[in-house]
């Protein structure tokens, strides 16, 4: 029992200590040099330095991009100087020694907002741009993707409730399990109860949802946003271990009592 208590406390402390803020995670994992290069490249595009812009394009992209197309893309930037520029998305992939990164920036202007994205790959001579997009938005992504409860679908409310209730059910079951006399290998029950199986996840901004048949989640739920301005994705699993425990709890009691009585008679 004492060892099991240590296990549970260790799990809770690990979850607490690892839950640093999204801002800290973003600052830690965004590659500074590459993201600065991407931001400068977009600044050159906004300033219509098309000679430089085309010189960094990959050969495949350069064959498709004309000055007219670059003018059209640059035209999506709002007029004037941006009041602020923030990186809100960073994805890096290294496959077979080939580095690729995708960076998204949010621009705030007096007249509105812009999203600009550029994808890079590293070469022996530096960087090549393999993707480029600019969009206009009426509000910031942080505001657009803010977590709110109004105007949501029934599926969104269902997953939200499940994401709250499932961990509580698992935690309550875990406490009961710790107090239940189990003849042997109680730690296996603890692990089984802690896990949720399968999952239904919902995109909190647009309401899109999906089922994951092959999925295992600690405490049977999660709420994830890939960045400070990214949309939340909520997920809830079936607390199979907790359910099975309650179905078996009576028999576990009976086995433990029978074993105790047998040991007493043998003594």
pLDDT at 21: 44
pLDDT at 12: 45
pLDDT at 162: 95
Its pTM surpasses 0.85? no
Closest residue by Cα to residue 123 from 181, 180, 205, 60: 60
Cβ pair 131, 118 in contact under 8 A:
yes
pLDDT at 11: 47
pLDDT at 263: 58
- Give me 237's structure tokens: 């699993």
pLDDT at 267: 52
Cβ pair 196, 221 in contact under 8 A:
yes
Q: Which stretches of the chain score pLDDT less than 50?
A: 1, 4-9, 11-22, 24-25
Domains of the chain listed by start with CATH number: 31-144 (3.10.450.590), 145-261 (no CATH)
**Strand, helix or coil at 114?**
strand
């Amino acid at each position: 029992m004492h060892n099991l208590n240590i296990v549970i406390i260790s799990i809770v402390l690990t979850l607490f200590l690892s839950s640093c803020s999204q801002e800290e995670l973003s600052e830690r994992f965004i590659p500074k040099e590459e993201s600065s290069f991407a931001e400068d490249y977009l600044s050159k595009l906004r300033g219509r330095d098309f000679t430089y812009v085309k010189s960094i394009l990959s050969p495949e992209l350069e064959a498709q991009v004309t000055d007219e197309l670059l003018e059209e893309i640059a035209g999506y930037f709002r007029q004037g100087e941006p009041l602020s520029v923030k990186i809100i998305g960073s994805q890096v992939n290294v496959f077979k020694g080939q580095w690729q990164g995708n960076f998204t920036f949010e621009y705030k202007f007096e007249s509105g907002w812009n999203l600009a994205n550029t994808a890079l790959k590293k070469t022996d001579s530096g960087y090549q741009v393999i993707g480029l997009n600019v969009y206009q938005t009426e509000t910031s992504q942080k505001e657009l993707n803010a977590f709110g409860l109004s105007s949501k679908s029934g599926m969104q409310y269902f997953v939200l409730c499940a994401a709250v209730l499932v961990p509580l059910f698992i935690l309550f079951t875990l406490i009961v399990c710790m107090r239940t006399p189990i003849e042997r290998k109680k730690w296996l029950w603890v692990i089984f109860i802690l896990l949720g199986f399968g999952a239904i996840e919902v995109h909190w901004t647009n309401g899109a949802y999906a089922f994951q048949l092959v999925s295992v989640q600690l405490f049977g739920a999660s709420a994830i946003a890939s960045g400070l301005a990214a949309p939340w994705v909520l997920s809830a699993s079936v607390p199979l271990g907790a359910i099975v425990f309650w179905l078996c709890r009576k028999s576990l009691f009976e086995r433990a009592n029978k074993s105790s009585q047998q040991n007493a008679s043998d003594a």
